[in-house]
Amino acid sequence: MNILKYFNQTLMMPFTGGLIVMFIFAACSENLSTSPDPSISNNEVQSQASLASQISPNNVVELIAKHEGDDYIFELSADVIPSGWTTFRLINDSHSTHFAYMAGVPQAAKDSAASDNTELLDYWIQHVTNPFQWFMDGIIPGKEPDDGDAPTKYAETLFPAWFGDVSPSGGPGFIGGMSSTETTVYLDEGEYIVECYVKNGEGDFHSYLGMIELLTVTGESSVAEEPVATTELNISTDGIEFDRHISAGEHIVKVNFDDQTLYDHLLGHDVHLIRMDTGTSVAEVGKWMNWMDPDGLVSSSSANSLGPATFLGGVQTMTEGSHGYFHVELEPGRYAWVSEIPNPHSNKMLEVFNVPGGRALGR
Ligand SMILES: [Cu+2]
């Protein structure tokens, strides 16, 4: 089921002054990851004919997350890539937690941007990022919205009708400060928004502060092969199912999205791995996973609030029936799989497990 359409059709939220807001969110897609390979080139415009030869055989895109003053940014090693299995290596060059969610842009959005004579990324920011920030500003006690004209602009709908057709396409999960992670997904030809909507200490989404880019996937096919998993994890509305006897060592985790739905925070489920360091509280983690909570999804080095846990990556929301791959090296210790949904522990989506000492077979 297209959960965006479901959301579009079913969820209407009353707002102040009789404002009726249609709130939609995208939630799924195809993700997979492969082995490390640094060579996807640069941001230069490349002709479609020569693209494949300039990108590494494993079709790896590096995303560097960093802060520059008050701005949060992504630097992409390539912004035009061939279609197929694509590994995103998210390098967090900051002390805050970040992720990189891929949202497939529907044709209607491209058409509207063109008729507005507006660049697609700018059009998205105007019609999705800014309304979300305005909505968030209204939730945070005492916060003055940046955009005071928003209630007039959003008088009929908060988001455009095409938002229900956005295709959630996975991407790297939450990764803690000064660390990196890899996730592989299958991307079809199209335009994709790459964004992080973790919040800073003032409740501003990182995407609103600049951590949002456009990725073009061409019709040319990559030669990258689908990764070979060492273990599998299934996520559905019944919870997260996985091998509790996973061994230490390098792993490629195949994450299967058996179904998908919209939760109270208007998003679907995804999967992230956290290290249960001493003092990590399951209750605090659970509360943090809801972006609608004023303190949820806040990670800010300046506010001395980096979040309740050390995140190691994962697979962002994907559509029912799709799958992605998450690469991780597990050291012996205590971990948890968690989904970015409200109250994940009560939905069997905050599952603690232990990795015993020793190495994975064959390693
Ligand atoms: Cu971020």
Total residue length of the chain: 363
Q: Which residues contact 34 (CB under 8 A, 6 or more apart)?
A: 58, 59, 60, 85, 87, 182, 184, 224, 225, 226, 227, 325, 327
- pTM, to two decimals: 0.85
Q: Which amino acid is at 157?
A: T
Domain ranges of the chain: 3-13+24-221, 231-355
Alpha-carbon distance of 209 to 211, in angstroms, equals 6
Q: What is the Å distance from ligand 1's center to 1 Cα?
A: 29
Structure tokens at 218: 């061409």
Domain range 3-13+24-221, its CATH number among 2.40.50.140, 3.30.360.10, 2.60.40.420, 3.40.50.10470: 2.60.40.420
The answer to whether residues 204 and 298 touch, using CB atoms and an 8 Å cutoff, is: no
The answer to whether residues 272 and 339 touch, using CB atoms and an 8 Å cutoff, is: yes
Q: What is the Å distance from ligand 1's center to 197 Cα?
A: 6
pLDDT tens string, the chain, 363 residues long: the values are: 333 433 433 333 333 332 333 333 333 333 333 333 444 444 333 444 445 445 667 899 999 999 998 889 999 999 999 999 999 999 999 999 999 999 999 999 999 999 999 999 999 999 999 999 999 999 999 888 877 777 777 766 788 889 889 999 999 999 999 999 999 999 999 999 999 999 999 999 999 999 999 999 999 999 899 999 999 999 999 999 999 999 999 999 999 999 999 898 888 999 999 999 888 999 999 999 999 999 999 998 776 788 889 999 999 999 999 999 999 999 999 999 999 999 999 999 999 999 998 554 544
Alpha-carbon distance of 64 to 73, in angstroms, equals 8
Closest CA to 105 of 156, 51, 160, 41: 160
Q: What is the Å distance from ligand 1's center to 229 Cα?
A: 28
Residue 114 Ramachandran class (φ > 0 left, ψ -120 to 50 alpha, else beta): alpha
Q: What is the Å distance from ligand 1's center to 223 Cα?
A: 30
The answer to whether residues 184 and 86 touch, using CB atoms and an 8 Å cutoff, is: yes
Q: What is the Å distance from ligand 1's center to 53 Cα?
A: 31
Class assignment of domain 231-355? Answer: mainly beta
For the chain, give the longest Cα–Cα distance.
Answer: 64
Q: What is the Å distance from ligand 1's center to 174 Cα?
A: 9
Closest CA to 221 of 84, 104, 85: 84
Angle at 363 between CA 332 and CA 185, to 5 degrees: 85
Q: What is the Å distance from ligand 1's center to 207 Cα?
A: 7
Same fold, 3-13+24-221 and 231-355: yes
SS3 label, residue 184 = strand
Structure tokens at 344: 């994940």
